[in-house]
Structure 1
Amino acid sequence: MSTAEGQKRTADFSPTTPTNPNPPPQNTTAPHILRRHQHRRRNIAASVWGPELPPPPSTPGISQPASRATSSIFRKPPFNIYKSLLRHPNLFFQFCIRLPYTSIISLYSIDKEFHYRLNKYSLSLIHDYARYHALLASHVFSWVLFPKLCISDPMLRPMDGREWLARDVPGFRWVGMVLHRQKVVRGILTCLAVEGLRVPNKAFEVLCKFWCVMECKSVALREAFLQDGDIWSDQEILVFQLLLVKLDMRFSDPVLGNGVGELSHMLLTQKGLGILYKVLMGQIRIDYDKATDILVRTYLSEDLDTDTHTWLDDEIDNGVPEEEWGLLSREGWHMDGKRMDSAVDMVIMEGIRRGLDVQRYYLDFVLYGFVDGDGNNVPVPRMLRQGNGVNVVEVGLPNEQARKQALGKLREFAGLSCIDGMEVDTQS
């Protein structure tokens, strides 16, 4: 061919057309491109991954010898289960939904056919994937609340009938955020349950909703969420305060906790629940310096006892820049914002506004998860070392048999004459 392969011919093309009809000026030193040539190579993966190509046409009565490379391209490819799943009209959706998050991201990045088919049904597949792996969390953390995690429709479907504007759809970043927050909330509740501090099943949804309130940067927006009875019911406000009591019991425990009950209020006044999860999992150790740093960044100076603890009001001693003091207690998390109450206090005040009289249930909150209605001990879940699983025993400890065995061993060890109202023969 007289022209370069792969270039589109114009309407007035003729064989006598010069290679370059507009030559550059002679006084320029720029390189002059005479022609371009694209060397086409056969697709070496067409026999395995490519589409099924039809055999080359043959003229009857004339034998056309084919080269070894040509015959390898047009031969029938072997069966590939992955491509068969992609091209199946029904199994493709079930295959995508059941993929782990890291696997579907990898396939979407490296496989062109998987990328195209997923984009074609992106909206339904993203919603189905989120509902399959995080049914409740995907409902609470709706993609409408997170416009920064949305993308333009890959198939350029119009928004509200405007053909020049593609609609916004949730992307994989939103799915990853939902899965991460589900993991964090479940981890918090699991850590409490393993230590004997059980909460109702409703606590998962309540903690997810509270995370949404924590992210609001203004008092008006937080009040709009909390005062809506369709979003926060009376039962959910009571469950949250039960959860708050359990967190206070966890942090004030003389063995497992850090000895201070106010830590739960401080950790629930952050931008999210990530730091609370890391503290309960042991990934962050709350020492004196760490607690001081979080305290200064969370509360305003007028809310702290700076007369007794003078270093809280000194930038050199606490190590926190003055422009970052109390940012989490200001609207917009900005140093010039108005004062903003913490999300914990606003939930408590909402319970008072509704007249729930939560103080009547404090004793029930403390006893919940330890004894049942008959006064028997409730079994405590145990964390298994292998597989990171959680097992629940059938009988709560200590039962009657374990109690008698412990008393018998204590009598033998101490050599006492009377324990638990039973006389024992002692040996000198």
Structure 2
Amino acid sequence: MLSSGVIVRRGPWDGSDENTTTTQPPAPGTGNGYIQEQIPFRLRSQATGHTNQPQIQGDEQTPHRQGAFVGHRPSAPGGGTGQRIEAPHDGFDLIEALCRCLDVAQMVTDYLDVQDLVNLYSISRSCQSMFNRNYQRFTLRHARLNAPQSARVFPFLCYYWLFIPGKFALPFYNHVHQRMQLHPIPTFRWLAMVRHREAVVNDIVHLMEQEGFRLPTPCTLVIKKLWFLMDIPDNRRRAWTIQNRRLWEDIDLFFAMFFLVQLDICLRRRHNKPNGALRRLVMAQPSLMFLWRVLTNTALTNQFEVVDAFVRWQYTLEHREPGVYIFGVPSEQVGLLQYEGYRPTDGAQILQRPDELVVREMVRRGLHMQTMYRDIFLLGNTQPYTTPDSGDAAWDEEMRQAVRGTGEDWMDWVILEQSWAAAERDV
């Protein structure tokens, strides 16, 4: 016999559908396919307003309220001890109901973290079906709501290992190859990367402020743009990106230089170095996660780690022999970060660092740091250094416009190789 206050619910493993994604064994001692959930059974009487004793008024078909839910009264009046109590709300499933209303489901998921979305996708067949039909709608909405800058700076089309090119992709007509293709859609992995980078950049700004180097608010966007430059593994697209005035305005170059100067002074003071070698070492990495580790005292904590990082970046070997170590670094990884694509192939060019590109572009545009400092900080005049209608410019869209008419597939230029992942996993 079930005691009072025990609700018997059927577990998710009771279904006979073979497409069920997750299964769980029944709880010990609960019978075959049933779980007992200890939930206090309390009825609110609309007549008296008391909640100490379960009271029911009206006929058998009168709905009653249980907490915040509306359902029907139990089959046994009074719900006394030793009587079986049916599941409330006629088996009403909240998640199932949310999945039937897409707009409400979107508003609810706005308050969830990425891992919560993954959990819903894993445990609920209805949520999985809903996400599969509206994958791009959910991920882009969540990214633009919680990390709008990062969602624009890091387009999902650039990271082919973070989008879906398969059966859930959207069909479109490729005018270059004259055939229908599947337009990829973002996944939760891309959403997690965007949220992760948003948090890391904010943490970098906070850590530098703790070191005594407060950065203006526009530096947050500029740091993300520098991070995206690090994702590009070749000089041609790096130079094209920073020379595009819609992607890199004059004021962006100013705040990028401001950030690099502050970072250079910060690293000099932390490690007692008279030159900018550490700043060049940090900006030569394939990810800003290395800078975050330096500021959190988990990287470059001693001279051995400094030498290790330098060998991986700029040490040159005449012959690479398997099993040979240079200052503790395998010969296969020595000097990789200085080459395009992080591969020392024949004819590989030296990869230009983002700080190098910023300085060269300021010289190419004829910008003067002192004049910009006076106009921006003292006079508050930023209009001469901004580009109209550049706020919504996205890198993948700009690249598609540049490739249009050349006869080449623009996706070949948009997709960034994952070569940096072998050296630095930041997601």
What interval of TM-score do these two structures reach, taking the shorter chain for normalisation? Answer: 0.5 to 0.7
Do residues 206 (structure 1) and 222 (structure 2) align? Answer: yes
Is the alpha carbon distance of 1:112 and 1:192 closer, same or farther for their aligned partners in structure 2, counting shifts above 3 Å?
same
Residue of structure 2 in register with 1:353 after alignment = 364
Residue of structure 1 in register with 2:283 after alignment = 268
Per the TM alignment, residue 173 of structure 1 is displaced from its structure 2 partner at its CA by: 1.0
- CA distance, structure 2, for counterparts of residue 165 and residue 248 of structure 1: 47
- CA distance, structure 2, for counterparts of residue 144 and residue 86 of structure 1: 28
Q: Give the alignment partner of residue 319 of structure 1, picking from 315, 328, 332.
A: 328
Residue of structure 2 in register with 1:184 after alignment = 200
Structure 2 residue runs of 5 or longer lacking an equivalent are 1-15, 17-31, 36-83, 318-323, 380-427
- CA distance, structure 2, for counterparts of residue 86 and residue 118 of structure 1: 9
Q: What's the CA shift string for 1:100-136, capped at 9, x where partnerless? A: 1111111111111111112222221111011111111
CA contact (8 A) 2:157 2:184 kept: no
Residue of structure 2 in register with 1:418 after alignment = none
Given residue 123 of structure 2, which amino acid in structure 1 is its aligned partner? Answer: I
Per the TM alignment, residue 76 of structure 1 is displaced from its structure 2 partner at its CA by: 6.2
Residue 271 of structure 2 aligns to a residue whose secondary structure is coil
CA contact (8 A) 1:324 1:335 kept: no
- CA distance, structure 2, for counterparts of residue 131 and residue 159 of structure 1: 24
Given residue 281 of structure 2, which amino acid in structure 1 is its aligned partner? Answer: M
- CA distance, structure 2, for counterparts of residue 155 and residue 352 of structure 1: 47
Residue of structure 1 in register with 2:117 after alignment = 104
Question: What are the residue-to-residue correspondences of 1:115-126 with 2, within 5 Å?
Answer: 115-126=128-139
CA contact (8 A) 1:119 1:154 kept: no
Given residue 119 of structure 1, which amino acid in structure 2 is its aligned partner? Answer: N
- CA distance, structure 2, for counterparts of residue 165 and residue 331 of structure 1: 30
Residue 158 of structure 1 aligns to a residue whose secondary structure is strand
Given residue 146 of structure 1, which amino acid in structure 2 is its aligned partner? Answer: Y
Given residue 141 of structure 1, which amino acid in structure 2 is its aligned partner? Answer: F
Given residue 265 of structure 2, which amino acid in structure 1 is its aligned partner? Answer: M
Do residues 232 (structure 1) and 241 (structure 2) align? Answer: no
CA contact (8 A) 2:170 2:184 kept: no
Residue 160 of structure 1 aligns to a residue whose secondary structure is strand
Per the TM alignment, residue 88 of structure 1 is displaced from its structure 2 partner at its CA by: 3.2
- What's the C-alpha RMSD, in Å, of the aligned pairs? 3.4
Residue 136 of structure 2 aligns to a residue whose secondary structure is helix
Per the TM alignment, residue 75 of structure 1 is displaced from its structure 2 partner at its CA by: 9.7
CA contact (8 A) 1:151 1:170 kept: yes
CA contact (8 A) 2:172 2:182 kept: yes
Residue of structure 2 in register with 1:282 after alignment = 297
Residue of structure 2 in register with 1:297 after alignment = 312
- CA distance, structure 2, for counterparts of residue 84 and residue 273 of structure 1: 43
Residue of structure 2 in register with 1:35 after alignment = none
- CA distance, structure 1, for counterparts of residue 190 and residue 102 of structure 2: 26
Is the alpha carbon distance of 1:344 and 1:43 closer, same or farther for their aligned partners in structure 2, counting shifts above 3 Å?
same
Residue of structure 2 in register with 1:131 after alignment = 144
Per the TM alignment, residue 326 of structure 1 is displaced from its structure 2 partner at its CA by: 2.2
- CA distance, structure 1, for counterparts of residue 277 and residue 85 of structure 2: 73
Task: Give me the TM-score of the superposition, normalised by structure 1.
Answer: 0.60
Q: Give the alignment partner of residue 107 of structure 2, picking from 94, 102, 122.
A: 94
Residue 77 of structure 1 aligns to a residue whose secondary structure is helix
CA contact (8 A) 2:170 2:185 kept: no
The alignment of Structure 1 onto Structure 2 pairs a total of residues equal to 289
Residue 175 of structure 1 aligns to a residue whose secondary structure is helix
Q: What's the CA shift string for 1:220-261, capped at 9, x where partnerless? A: 1111001111111111111011101111221122xxx11124
Higher radius of gyration, 1 or 2: 1
Larger RCO, structures 1/2 (Cα 8 Å, 6+ apart)? 2
- CA distance, structure 1, for counterparts of residue 364 and residue 129 of structure 2: 53
Is the alpha carbon distance of 1:164 and 1:139 closer, same or farther for their aligned partners in structure 2, counting shifts above 3 Å?
closer
Per the TM alignment, residue 96 of structure 1 is displaced from its structure 2 partner at its CA by: 1.8
Per the TM alignment, residue 283 of structure 1 is displaced from its structure 2 partner at its CA by: 2.6
Given residue 113 of structure 1, which amino acid in structure 2 is its aligned partner? Answer: S
- CA distance, structure 2, for counterparts of residue 146 and residue 155 of structure 1: 17
Do residues 338 (structure 1) and 349 (structure 2) align? Answer: yes
Residue 347 of structure 1 aligns to a residue whose secondary structure is helix
Residue 90 of structure 2 aligns to a residue whose secondary structure is coil
Q: Give the alignment partner of residue 222 of structure 1, picking from 224, 228, 238.
A: 238
- CA distance, structure 2, for counterparts of residue 246 and residue 341 of structure 1: 21
